[in-house]
């Protein structure tokens, strides 16, 4: 799996975690209100367990992605990866953040950062774990 593809799983991860927590709260409220029915109670318990599992998985994913990014010793490259994949910012927005008129430097640093990422993969095709620039 390509480094870029793995990092893309982090796009909007904070908002996805927040959404799952909000859904969990809504289901918990419903459970508290109608928990008197054994049939409904079992259904709602299953839904709550599923939501909690989804939240745990998103948090694990975010932690793993942050660990991957933190392995890079270049702070600018780390920030580019965070802004691109966690915040989903465009190249232009990232260039503005760093004070550049064009995106060339940002894209070059992004490319270098992706090449530094080594991801172990249990897939058959081990030819290319590094992302190419779009």
pTM attached to this predicted model: 0.69
Tell me which residue range forms the domain holding 52. 3-116
Instruction: State mean pLDDT over 82-103.
Output: 94
The yes-or-no verdict on residue 71 having pLDDT over 60 is: yes
Answer yes or no: is 123 within a domain: no
Query: How many whole angstroms separate alpha carbon 102 and alpha carbon 105?
Result: 7
Answer yes or no: is 130 within a domain: no
The confidence band for 133, taking pLDDT boundaries of 50, 70 and 90, is very low
What region, left, alpha or beta, does residue 12 occupy, with left being phi > 0 and alpha being psi -120 to 50 degrees?
A: left
Q: Please, what's the largest Cα pairwise distance for the chain?
A: 63
Answer yes or no: is 103 within a domain: yes
Answer yes or no: is 129 within a domain: no
Answer yes or no: is 14 within a domain: yes
The confidence band for 11, taking pLDDT boundaries of 50, 70 and 90, is confident
Number of domains present in the structure of the chain: 1
* Residue 22, pLDDT score: 93
* Residue 127, pLDDT score: 43
Q: Of 12-26, 61-75, 119-133, which gets the smallest average pLDDT?
A: 119-133
């Amino acid at each position: 799996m390509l480094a870029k593809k793995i990092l893309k799983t982090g796009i909007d991860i904070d908002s996805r975690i927040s959404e799952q927590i909000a859904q969990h709260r809504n289901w918990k409220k419903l459970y508290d209100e109608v928990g008197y029915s054994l049939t409904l109670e079992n259904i709602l318990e299953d839904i709550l367990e599923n939501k909690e599992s989804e939240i745990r998985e998103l948090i694990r994913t975010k932690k793993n992605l942050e660990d991957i990014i933190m392995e890079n010793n270049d702070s600018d490259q780390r920030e580019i990866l965070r802004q691109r994949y966690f915040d989903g910012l465009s190249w232009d927005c990232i260039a503005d953040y760093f004070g550049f008129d064009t995106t060339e430097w940002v894209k070059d640093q992004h490319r270098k950062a992706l090449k530094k990422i080594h991801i172990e993969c249990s897939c058959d095709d081990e030819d290319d774990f590094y992302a190419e620039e779009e």
